[in-house]
Amino acid sequence: MNPKLLYSMTKYELRLLLRSRWLLNFMVLFFFLAGLLYLYGLQSVKSDPAEISYGLEGVNANIETMGVNPEYYGLKEIKPEEGETAGFSQSAYNRSIAMLMNLSLWMLPIICMILGSSSIIADKENGRLSLYRTYHASSGYYLISKFLSLVISLFFVIGLSYGLFGFYFSLAGSSIAAHIFQVFLLINMLLILVFSAASLLIGAFSKSRMQGLSAAMIFWIIIVFVYEFIIFSVTGWIPYSLKQISLFFLILLNPVESVRVWSISKLNSEYVFGPEYLMIEKWGANGSLTLALTLSIILIILITFITSARVLSKRGV
């Protein structure tokens, strides 16, 4: 690999993206979402704090156990942590936070796929990709430069919104607010990485802007909305003893769902999955959940890169 060639190509692609009005519009959008998270999400958490006991949300509710130890059903009490993390002993996941999280999970994938695929399709239509092929360089350089430029530019946008808010609350000593903004920042960064790579595959297959936009929309609808129904249908045919591990594997195949589960775990809210899935709390505590998410994302990115490079090489367009 030639680092100088890759650097120059990435620099050129990044310069084109930074000049784009789309990027400025997205910056304004995410500043608005970060402000909405503060005004709407954080205030709802502060006004209705949820202390977690036996994996349940115990807000103004006395749970009658009829004299039975809840640990008999696997509901172990989640005790507040001591030390530096003691300030984040409550759940930070409620209806408001869930709605704002879904906005990121729905919007970022389609934003990344449209921006990335449009960039490749534009090179096909104006002949720049054909000119690039005359230099007899590998398609990998071209795809990596597209990927890096899109990731860096969107990271810049996310960092100026969620990152600045989180940094401010960290300096102000508000650990809960800083942690929530940190989780939202990581959610957006993970989504950017995965779907920027997916945009390369869509751009490699598509021959026109309309075809690329249609493919991005179809893929987005399947991943964000239809996949949940697929999971319900598939798990219905799986033996009960294998349902939990099969469901977790199916979730890892979809980055939107895997990031959602990981973020809920990071917000100390595993109880929303029910007592049968308290294993997620254990996996989150020992780092297995983060490791599984990281490996799945890396694998998805590698598969999309290899497939995109082969498609571009075979089509020769």
274: left (phi over 0), alpha (psi -120 to 50) or beta: left
Name 90's bridge partners.
51
pLDDT of residue 59: 42
CA angle 165, 171, 175 (to 5 degrees): 80
pLDDT of residue 85: 41
For the chain, domain boundaries: 3-50+92-315
Instruction: Output the CA torsion 178→260→111→195 (10° steps).
Output: 110
Separation of alpha carbons 217 and 106, rounded Å: 12
CB neighbours of residue 225 within 10 Å: 11
Per-residue pLDDT of the chain (317 residues), as tens digits, is: 678 888 888 888 888 888 878 888 888 889 898 888 888 878 777 666 555 544 444 444 455 555 666 665 555 555 544 444 444 456 678 888 888 899 999 999 999 999 999 999 998 888 888 888 777 677 888 999 999 999 999 999 999 889 888 888 888 888 888 889 999 999 999 999 999 999 999 999 998 889 999 999 999 999 999 998 998 888 888 888 788 888 889 999 999 999 999 999 888 887 778 776 777 777 877 888 899 999 999 999 999 999 999 998 886 55
Q: Whole-prediction pTM value? A: 0.84
